[in-house]
Amino acid sequence: MEAPPNLKKTSPETPLQLLLFVDKRPSSGEKIRQIRSRLNALGKDYPFDLQIIDVGDQPHLVEHFKLVATPALIKYHPEPRHILAGSDIVAQLDHWWSRWQQTVDEFRLAHGADQGTVPASEFVSDGLSRPNAAKRNGIGFSSISHITEMTQLSDEIFRLKQQNDELQEQVKFKNRLIAMLAHDLRNPLTAVSIALETLEMGFGLSDDGGYSDRFNRDIVAQVIRHARTQAKALDRMIADVLQAARGSGDRLQIQPKNLDLAALCKEVLRDQHKQIESKDQQIKTDIPGDLPGVYADPERVRQVLTNLLDNAVKYTPVHGTIELAVLHRTTQKVQVSICDTGPGIPEENRERIFEDQYRLKRDESKDGYGIGLALCQRVVGAHYGQIWVDSELNQGSCFHFTLPVYRP
């Protein structure tokens, strides 16, 4: 972006370079007139260059000079830089003008100028109008527009660095996601494959060329149910990854209807039975028989229940206890709570655990994508509910979420 046209080139004939920062207040015009009038009176024998800058048009220059108030008058050349600010700038000018004259005289003397002008070839600026004796061959003053350009370039570099860091994080996340997904897909795929092979063996060819039925109906139903559960787990993993790839800005689509939440909770618990059994954990439930229906998307709520129970099983130690309770909290809301006896969550992390891709440092070596709780929050939010966690270190965690009661 080019410097605004009101920032004119500074002149090498006037080594005293001044900047006056003002805002758009009605009183600014009178302040400018007073300061300019006093400068004209003081500067008869010491020519100066004054540029007036509106802080609203040039905020990057305000940041560059670290200004905290307006109006502000800056002597930015010759050095040392000096800032006058406040309501009494004219009085401050009377006090400091002789010292500013002294810095101009010292500058002229240092550069061999015994007249009232300084050749443009005698100095160059590094963006702050400091003379550079090593570069004296035909290079003139750097204007304030150069400062503007350098500041804007610095801002652009900072912005690009931020973008690069974000892209690097996205690449790392996707690489981790692919590796974990490849690992996690293996288990349900193997389970489905074993179920199909079992069914194939159970309905093998008989001696007379027909099909034999080696399994009774209960076993067949159990094998089919197990295969269906694993297929759903596969579908859920893929859905979670696709949702994470779309990002949190993508609107979550739900298809709500009258849902029997109690039945869904029991079904999800049955699906988690083998995991719970493998760690010899105890399940406690408190699901009222007179629970009203909720207005929710069954598959999305299943995702939330499954994610929260997965976490509870993962963090609860062997022989630990997991609790699932449902409470008809108000006439409008039903609350689900899933509690574990795991290590708990540090207080400073309790809000961040619902962010996309956020994982506690202790969990970086564990399986998981870092998207489960973020997805739960989005699902619950899409149902106009709330999700939160209560936790104490070394005493476990309780995740709670609410869903709206169905109203026919």
Mean pLDDT by 10 residues, the chain (408 residues): 40 74 85 89 81 83 80 87 88 90 84 48 35 34 56 72 78 63 67 80 58 68 80 71 57 86 94 87 94 93 91 91 92 94 86 70 50 82 92 91 92
Sorted by sequence, the CB contacts under 8 Å of residue 20 that are 6+ apart come out as: 32, 35, 50, 51, 52, 53, 71, 72, 73, 74
Residue 189 corresponds to which tokens in the numbers above?
A: 């795929």
Distances (CA, A) of 314 to 271, 272, 363, 364: 15, 11, 11, 14
Count of C-beta atoms within a 10 Å radius of residue 355: 15
| Per-residue pLDDT, 2 | 38
Distances (CA, A) of 13 to 10, 119, 296: 9, 7, 77
Sorted by sequence, the CB contacts under 8 Å of residue 205 that are 6+ apart come out as: 211, 212
Pairing assessment for the beta strands 282-286 and 321-327 based on DSSP bridges: parallel
DSSP type of residue 243: H
Sorted by sequence, the CB contacts under 8 Å of residue 177 that are 6+ apart come out as: 241, 244, 369
Structural domains of the chain ordered from first start: 16-142 (3.40.30.10), 154-246 (1.10.287.130), 257-271+280-404 (3.30.565.10)
| Per-residue pLDDT, 8 | 45
The H or E element containing residue 220 is helix 217-246
What letters, b where the CB count within 10 A reaches 16 and e where it falls short, cover 200-216? eebeeeeeeeeeeeebe
Residue 77 corresponds to which tokens in the numbers above?
A: 């050349």
Residue 9 corresponds to which tokens in the numbers above?
A: 């080139």
Count of C-beta atoms within a 10 Å radius of residue 408: 5
| Per-residue pLDDT, 205 | 47
| Per-residue pLDDT, 186 | 67
Give the C-alpha separation, 251 to 268, whole Å.
26
Pairing assessment for the beta strands 72-77 and 257-259 based on DSSP bridges: unpaired
pTM comes to: 0.47
Sorted by sequence, the CB contacts under 8 Å of residue 263 that are 6+ apart come out as: none
C-beta separation of 356 from 374 below 8 A? yes
Residue 105 corresponds to which tokens in the numbers above?
A: 């005289």
- Identify the bridge partners of residue 388 per DSSP, sorted by sequence position: 400
Pairing assessment for the beta strands 16-22 and 48-54 based on DSSP bridges: parallel
| Per-residue pLDDT, 123 | 34
C-beta separation of 139 from 121 below 8 A? yes
